[in-house]
């Protein structure tokens, strides 16, 4: 049997007979990896070639969809990330760092999904006793859960045909292999072929498949990026080592929005949903500390109140330090430039540190005003009222600009018991006319210097 060397692009799966510096398919540099593949067994990945399946065209008007297409995972937070629940016959990829809680959450899902039908849990990394210990710890005793320790995709397909499960869990995709391909498990060709066969199994048999994937040190799914293109839904489990909360974030979703997040708390009994997200990220209020400011930010359809902390201190270096945890460093530098230019606040000799409480990251510009006020509060050592929430984007000319979904943010602020909201003047004035607020004070301002004058003077 003669072997040949083939090069694959890790990002898009492009195949080449020789190494290329730049991929012609996705234009990425240094993305080609070398693999040895048997010529006699190498074949093109595809449903028709591999499974002798012939599809026929149908009119879209003739295709009917069941009202019960969505499946309840047993977690409201997870259902929202999926877009209303898992879709029957879909292929979902779960990614996350080691020890983040992937297997724990999936096992809890198995216990909830078992009421709809058989669940086949396939593990290429753990033994029967290891999985059983996790089930006992999570108090999962459903008889509809089957376990299979296997890495050969052909044997997995055979067991699926015998047991006819409604749900199939694969832990993890990097350990699975196709014996017809000579490369090692986790290689580009193996991951492509195994994923294609799992996708065929899901679509043709109506089996809902969940695949667990490892992540690299850069935080992306290990293996080729084409893996994410092939599946229907890609979810990442994020979390900091020193915090117990876990964030489920949708990266790709063919059946819903990718802007949603779900938040869980990692406990001894497993993953527990957090209903009131804002309370998790708000520290105990203290009116005697400077450098604190509150902001109402949006994550999908959820409104979260976050606390932004700033610390300014005299720098002993020629280049003062700028450290930002939770916000973009370039955004911080822009806010500092606006404060110096428009408000005559000399921050060029100050080391500045910004931290968003709870380890969460904010990408939207609505946090600008809270960041600016926390910096000025720390610099002047004056305290911001702990019941005041700031919402607004800061322009380069120092103006406070409007943000989206202001009504939703203000309603959440009122529900949490805060009494003052400061934002863009035009938006706040319009809000007063359309929204009846009895227990909260709304203040509209036009420029950042007016906000500083009102709050800190």
What's the order of all strands across the beta sheet hosting 322-325? 322-325, 350-356, 302-314, 292-299, 388-390, 420-424, 441-445
The 8-class DSSP code of residue 447 comes to B
Strand partners, 354: 310, 324
Query: Do β-strands 302-314 and 350-356 pair in parallel, antiparallel, or remain unpaired?
Result: antiparallel
Residue 227: predicted pLDDT: 79
The closest of 237, 272, 229, 276 to 254, measured between CA atoms, is 229
Half-sphere CA count of 225, side-chain side, radius 13 A: 14
Rounded-to-integer distance, Cα 91 and Cα 207, Å: 9
- Name the H helices within 166-218: 188-205
373: helix, strand or coil? helix
Say if residues 384 and 456 touch (Cβ distance below 8 Å).
yes
Residue 101 contacts residue 239 (beta carbons within 8 Å): yes
Query: Which helix (H) or strand (E) segment is 375 a member of?
Result: helix 368-380
Look at residue 328 and give its three-state secondary structure: coil
The CATH class given to the 280-456 domain equals alpha beta
Specify the pLDDT at position 432. 79
The residue ranges of every structural domain in the chain are 1-40, 70-273, 280-456
Q: Which two tokens stand for residue 128?
A: 């029967």
> What pTM, to 2 d.p., does this model score?
0.73
Report the pLDDT value the prediction gives residue 54, as an integer from 0 to 100. Answer: 66
Residues 6+ apart with CB under 8 A from 386: 285, 286, 287, 292, 294
Burial class (CB in 10 A: 0-12, 13-18, 19+), 62: exposed
Architecture of the 70-273 domain: 3-Layer(aba) Sandwich (3.40)
The torsion defined by the Cα of 349, 351, 355 and 361, in degrees rounded to 10, comes to 80
The pLDDT value given to residue 216: 60
- 2, 40 contact by CB (below 8 A): yes
Distance CA 248, CA 19 (A): 37
User: How many Cβ atoms are within 10 Å of 393's Cβ, its own excluded?
Assistant: 17
Query: Which pLDDT tens digits describe the chain residue by residue (457 residues)?
Result: 455 777 877 766 677 888 888 888 778 888 887 776 654 444 444 444 445 556 678 888 887 776 567 899 999 989 989 988 999 999 999 988 888 888 899 999 999 999 999 999 999 888 889 999 999 999 998 889 999 999 999 999 999 999 999 999 998 888 898 888 877 777 777 888 898 999 999 988 889 999 998 776 555 554 556 778 889 999 988 887 667 888 898 889 998 888 788 889 888 888 998 877 776 677 655 567 899 999 999 877 778 899 999 999 999 888 999 999 999 999 999 999 999 999 999 999 999 999 998 778 888 999 999 999 999 999 999 999 888 999 999 999 999 999 998 888 988 888 888 889 999 998 988 887 777 666 788 999 999 999 999 998 7
Cβ–Cβ < 8 Å for 12, 26? yes
């Amino acid at each position: 049997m003669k072997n040949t060397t083939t090069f694959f692009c890790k990002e898009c799966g492009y195949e080449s007979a020789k190494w290329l510096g730049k991929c012609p398919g996705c234009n990425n540099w240094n993305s080609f990896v070398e693999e040895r593949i048997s010529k006699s067994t190498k074949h093109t990945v595809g449903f028709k070639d591999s499974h002798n399946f012939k599809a026929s065209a149908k009119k879209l008007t003739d295709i009917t969809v069941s009202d019960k297409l969505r499946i309840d995972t047993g977690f409201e937070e997870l259902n929202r990330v999926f877009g209303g629940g898992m879709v029957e016959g879909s292929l979902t990829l779960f990614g996350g760092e080691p020890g983040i809680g992937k297997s724990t959450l999936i096992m809890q899902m198995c216990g909830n999904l078992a009421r709809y039908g058989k669940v086949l849990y396939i593990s290429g990394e753990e033994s029967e006793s290891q999985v059983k210990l996790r089930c006992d710890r999570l108090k999962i005793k459903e008889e509809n859960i089957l376990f299979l320790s296997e890495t050969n995709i052909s044997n997995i397909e055979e067991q699926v045909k015998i047991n006819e499960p409604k749900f199939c869990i694969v832990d993890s995709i990097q350990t699975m292999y196709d014996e017809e391909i000579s490369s090692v498990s986790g290689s580009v060709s193996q991951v492509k072929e195994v994923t294609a066969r799992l996708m065929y199994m899901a679509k043709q048999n109506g089996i809902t498949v969940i695949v667990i994937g490892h992540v690299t040190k850069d935080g992306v799914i290990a293996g080729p990026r084409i893996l994410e293109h092939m599946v229907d839904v890609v979810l990442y489990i994020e979390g900091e080592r020193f915090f117990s909360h876990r964030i489920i974030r949708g990266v790709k979703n063919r059946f819903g929005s990718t802007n949603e997040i779900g938040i869980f708390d990692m406990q001894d009994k497993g993953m527990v949903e957090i209903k009131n997200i804002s309370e998790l990220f708000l520290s105990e209020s203290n009116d005697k500390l400077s450098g604190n400011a509150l902001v109402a930010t949006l994550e999908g359809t959820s409104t979260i109140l976050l606390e932004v902390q700033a610390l300014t201190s005299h720098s002993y270096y020629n280049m003062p330090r700028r450290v930002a945890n939770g916000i973009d460093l370039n955004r911080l530098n822009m806010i500092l430039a606006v404060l110096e230019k428009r408000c005559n606040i000399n921050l060029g000799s100050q080391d500045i540190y910004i931290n968003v409480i709870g380890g969460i990251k904010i990408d939207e510009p609505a946090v600008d005003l809270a960041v600016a006020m926390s910096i000025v509060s720390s610099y002047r050592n004056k305290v911001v009222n702990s019941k005041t929430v700031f919402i607004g984007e800061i322009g380069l000319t120092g103006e406070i600009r409007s943000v989206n979904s202001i009504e939703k943010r203000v309603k959440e602020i009122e529900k949490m018991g805060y009494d003052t909201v400061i934002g863009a003047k035009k938006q706040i004035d319009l809000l007063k006319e359309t929204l009846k607020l009895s227990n909260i004070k709304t203040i509209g301002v036009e420029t950042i210097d007016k906000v500083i004058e009102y709050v800190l003077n």
